[in-house]
């Protein structure tokens, strides 16, 4: 499947087949594919909670506008954006630094790396959130494209009680939740509406 086919075939599915499971092997492949997503300094400030248990999905549904697809989809993911992924001492930061050194970065450049990440991602109260959300957003989009490539369907959701979900699932304060993602197979016989309108090249490109 070409990338053009993947983008054309990706649709946000509202009605899933609750009887058709998604194998753990397929979910792992989907996540591994999305894991190749580029990120700032390769810090990869994202994590996932993967819900399969019906009771857990019902708990999430109650905090997400009671959207049926959260329970009907065999898998529902909570995408997490780590606002502290740029900090010294964070496992992702330290692993990134170690890998940079392995590929030729002098140890003496440690202070440069610390200053670079701090100045880019900690210069205002909103900078931590922007850093985390934009990178996790890239990852979430890759998850959706990976799903298509594997014959799966998905639906991203931002209609949910952010703080309620964090509390209900014991999510640490350092995380922001940019999106929930239902994953599975569309309901048999489901007729999809035509794709929604999209901006054209001429509407996207601007000058000021």
CA distance linking residue 39 with residue 68, whole number of Å: 33
The pLDDT of residue 154: 98
CB half-sphere exposure, 199, CA atoms < 13 A: 6
Domain boundaries 3-204, corresponding CATH code: 3.40.109.10
**pLDDT band with cut points at 50, 70 and 90 for residue 25:** very high
**pLDDT band with cut points at 50, 70 and 90 for residue 84:** very high
* Of the candidates 152, 140, 190, 193, the residue with the CA atom closest to the CA atom of residue 20: 152
The pLDDT of residue 175: 98
What is the phi/psi pair of residue 206, to 5°? -130, 165
CB atoms within 10 A of CB 62: 14
The pLDDT of residue 96: 97
- With 90 as the cut, is the pLDDT of residue 119 above it? yes
Question: Is the pTM for the entire model greater than 0.75?
Answer: yes
CA distance linking residue 41 with residue 167, whole number of Å: 30
CA distance linking residue 137 with residue 120, whole number of Å: 18
The pLDDT of residue 125: 78
What residues does each domain of the chain span? 3-204
* pLDDT, tens digit, 9 for 90 and up, residues 144-183: 999 999 999 999 999 999 999 999 999 999 999 999 999 9
**pLDDT band with cut points at 50, 70 and 90 for residue 62:** very high
CA distance linking residue 165 with residue 161, whole number of Å: 6
Looking at the DSSP bridge assignments, the partners of residue 80 are 47
For residue 105, what is the enclosing H or E element?
none
The pLDDT of residue 107: 95
**Residue 173: partners with Cβ closer than 8 Å, 6 or more residues away:** 166
């Amino acid at each position: 499947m070409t990338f053009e086919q993947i983008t054309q075939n990706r649709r946000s599915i509202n009605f899933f087949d609750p009887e058709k499971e998604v194998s753990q092997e397929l979910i792992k492949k989907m996540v591994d594919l999305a894991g190749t997503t580029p990120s700032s300094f390769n810090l990869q400030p994202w994590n996932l909670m993967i819900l399969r248990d019906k009771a857990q999905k019902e708990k999430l549904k109650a905090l997400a506008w009671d959207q049926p697809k959260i329970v009907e989809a065999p898998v529902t993911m909570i995408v997490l954006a780590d606002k502290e992924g740029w900090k010294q001492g964070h496992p992702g930061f330290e692993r990134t630094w170690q890998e940079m050194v392995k590929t030729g970065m002098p140890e003496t450049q440690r202070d440069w790396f610390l200053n670079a990440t701090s100045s880019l991602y900690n210069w205002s109260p909103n900078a931590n959130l922007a850093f985390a959300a934009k990178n996790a957003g890239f990852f979430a989009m890759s998850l959706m494209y990976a799903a298509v490539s594997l014959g799966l369907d998905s639906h991203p959701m931002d209609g949910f009680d952010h703080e309620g979900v964090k509390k209900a699932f014991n999510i640490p304060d350092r995380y922001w939740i940019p999106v929930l993602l239902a994953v599975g197979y569309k309901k048999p016989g489901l007729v999809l509406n035509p794709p929604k309108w999209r901006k054209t090249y001429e509407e996207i490109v601007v000058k000021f």
